[in-house]
Every structure is written in C-alpha cells, then in structure tokens.
Amino acid sequence: MNNLRRTSIFTVALLSLPLHVGHGEELLRQRAPRWVLFFYSRYEHLIMRSINYLASRDWIHDHPSIKRRVDGLTRLIVRFINGEIITLDEARSMVSNIAEHGYTIAVGTCPCRRARNIFSDHLPNNSDMVFGPWAEEYLRNYPGLYERLDREEAMRLVEEFDRHGFIHQIYGWPPREGAAYVLCNCSPDVCIPLLARRLRGYDSFRKGRSVAAVDEASCLGSSECGTCLKRCNFEARGVSPSGKVSVDREKCYGCGLCVSTCKGGATRLERKPGSELLFARHLVDD
C-alpha cells in the first residue's frame, strides 16, 4: 500500500507540472518550458516504471477500492500523456518533414527497456526517436545514451524497426495538433503502454487513421503465410474455416505491420472516413 501511495503521488506530481504556450506556429509544436523538458527527459523511465507497477500488480486490481483509485489515476495520466499509432509510410513522411525543416532528430534507448531492465541481444534497444527541443534535451542529459541522426539515418532506422515488428507511436504532450515529441518504435514484448492495454484495458494511445482490409482471394492462408497473425498485437486477426486470414475492423489499430510482410499482397490499409491524426497532423503528407 505504501508503494502504491508513493507511486500515485509521484505520478500526479509529474502530471501537475504547468505548460506554457510557445512562440509562433511552427511545424513541430512543442510548447513545454525548458525546465519541464529537462525534468521529463531525466525521469521518463521512472514515470514508465510507475505505470508498469500500477498495471502489473494483480493485488491492486483484485481490490475494488484500490482499483478505482488506480483507474482514476490512469485516466488522469492518459489525459495528459497519450499518443497515436502511425504507419511506416506516415513515419517516413513525418521524419522526412521534421529533418527538412531543420529540427534535431536523435535516437536512444527505449525508456520502457530501461524501466523494466529488459535488453535484447538480437533486437534494437535504441528505438526511442526524439525531435526538436526534446531531442536536444536528451542529447544534453544522456550524451552516451542518445545520438544525433541525419535524415538518411533516421529513415533507415524507422524501416529497420518496422521489419522487426515494432509499432510506431507518436507521443505528444498535452493533446495538441502537431505536438510531436517522440516516435516510440515499440517492441511489443517490452512496451509498457501495450502491456497496460493488454493486462488492464488501459489505452494510452489512439488508433491510427487507417484500418487493415484483406483480399481473401489473394490471401495465401495461415498455413502458407500467417505472418500477419504474429505481427498483430491488437487481437484483430483471425482465421476463417477455409484457412484464410480475416480482420476485425473494430479491434484494428491501423499500425500497418500486417501489410508490409503479407506475402500474397492481400492486405492493404484503408483510410477511415473522417479520421485524422492529432500529434502527427501537419507533419505527415497526405
């Protein structure tokens, strides 16, 4: 109980930090004052550790009164810190636009890996891509952990992350058009927001603006291919009696990982009517 109280107080204190409106209508709309950037860039992994603790402890969610408090705290967190799923093409477009407008791009160790102390010998550990003033702060605070990237290096990494099945998520703070701070290229086995969603139904990121669709005639079937079943992290894929793969459009988050590895070219992304990006708006070419 003391651990829960300390975690709650720590998290609420971080979320209560004030923001101000920056100057001008720039492409990359990061409006946090420098001291907030410094604080969050120093302690982001501790914030993630707090969220991981709240989501992963069964005793918390087995106790109704404690669960209500944690659910309330979670809603507060998501109100201030949330993200959205984007596709590989959208990630490429966004990174290219950010680089061409002269903003700094850097990459470093995934905060979720640091929070959970899980590091891989065969997957990229440095998948946290940060932009603009946020990137400059990380480079100052972690000169050995983050490195500056040029456009070509950033584009190459985004494609590499996609090949490994990492989910591209843009995070902004607070919810505001174009307020992109970080592109989390999330390893599904490590990502704390994905874990919290899977375990407790907490959604800290929005669905993308597209949804997957399958041409059944072109689908090679789960026995011959089935890669999409492994790469989907949202329980949106199923197999019909004929062995063909189907999509539950309500569950699909539009990440596009199923598209890039479909051997038969049967899967495509369709834009959802009226759906728009938030954090990546103005950064992604239509």
Q: Would you say residue 281 lies in a domain? A: no
Tell me: do 144 and 241 sit in the same domain.
no
Burial of 13 (0-12, 13-18, 19+ CB in 10 A): exposed
Tell me: do 160 and 236 sit in the same domain.
no
Grade residue 7 by pLDDT with cuts at 50, 70 and 90: low
Pairwise CA distance, residues 27 & 98, whole Å = 8
* End-of-domain residue from the set 165, 180, 206: 206
Cα dihedral 53, 55, 57, 63, rounded to 10, equals 130
* End-of-domain residue from the set 177, 206, 235: 206
Tell me: do 191 and 261 sit in the same domain.
no
Tell me: do 153 and 245 sit in the same domain.
no
Domain encompassing residue 93:
2-206
Tell me: do 92 and 201 sit in the same domain.
yes
Q: Would you say residue 280 lies in a domain? A: no
Is residue 23 predicted with pLDDT exceeding 70?
Answer: no
Q: Would you say residue 187 lies in a domain? A: yes
Q: Would you say residue 278 lies in a domain? A: no
Question: Of 252, 251, 269, nearest to 260 (Cα)?
Answer: 269
Question: Of 92, 138, 30, nearest to 126 (Cα)?
Answer: 138
Grade residue 25 by pLDDT with cuts at 50, 70 and 90: very low
Q: Would you say residue 285 lies in a domain? A: no
**Predicted pLDDT at 179:** 84
**Predicted pLDDT at 5:** 54
Tell me: do 196 and 227 sit in the same domain.
no
Tell me what the pLDDT averaged over the chain comes to: 86
* End-of-domain residue from the set 156, 184, 206: 206
Structure tokens at 98: 């950010």
Grade residue 50 by pLDDT with cuts at 50, 70 and 90: confident
CA geometry: angle 221, 227, 232, nearest 5 deg: 115
Q: Would you say residue 47 lies in a domain? A: yes
Tokens 């991981």 identify what position? 52
Structure tokens at 154: 């950033």
Pairwise CA distance, residues 218 & 216, whole Å = 5
Percent of the chain residues topping a pLDDT of 90 = 52
Tokens 């569950």 identify what position? 251
Tell me: do 134 and 118 sit in the same domain.
yes
Distances (CA, A) of 107 to 17, 44, 126, 251: 25, 15, 6, 30
Grade residue 152 by pLDDT with cuts at 50, 70 and 90: very high
Is residue 12 predicted with pLDDT exceeding 70?
Answer: no
Structure tokens at 85: 């799923």
Pairwise CA distance, residues 151 & 68, whole Å = 45
* pLDDT tens-place string over residues 85-113: 999 999 999 999 999 999 999 999 999 99
* pLDDT tens-place string over residues 264-280: 999 999 999 989 998 88
- 35-44, 105-114, 162-171, 264-273: least confidently modelled range: 35-44
* pLDDT tens-place string over residues 201-225: 888 888 999 999 999 899 999 888 9
Tell me: do 220 and 188 sit in the same domain.
no
| Mean pLDDT, residues 181-187 | 94
The pTM of this model reads 0.85
Domain count, the chain: 2
Tell me: do 236 and 194 sit in the same domain.
no
**Do you find a cis peptide bond into 124, omega within 30 degrees of 0?**
no
Cβ(86)–Cβ(284) below 8 Å: yes
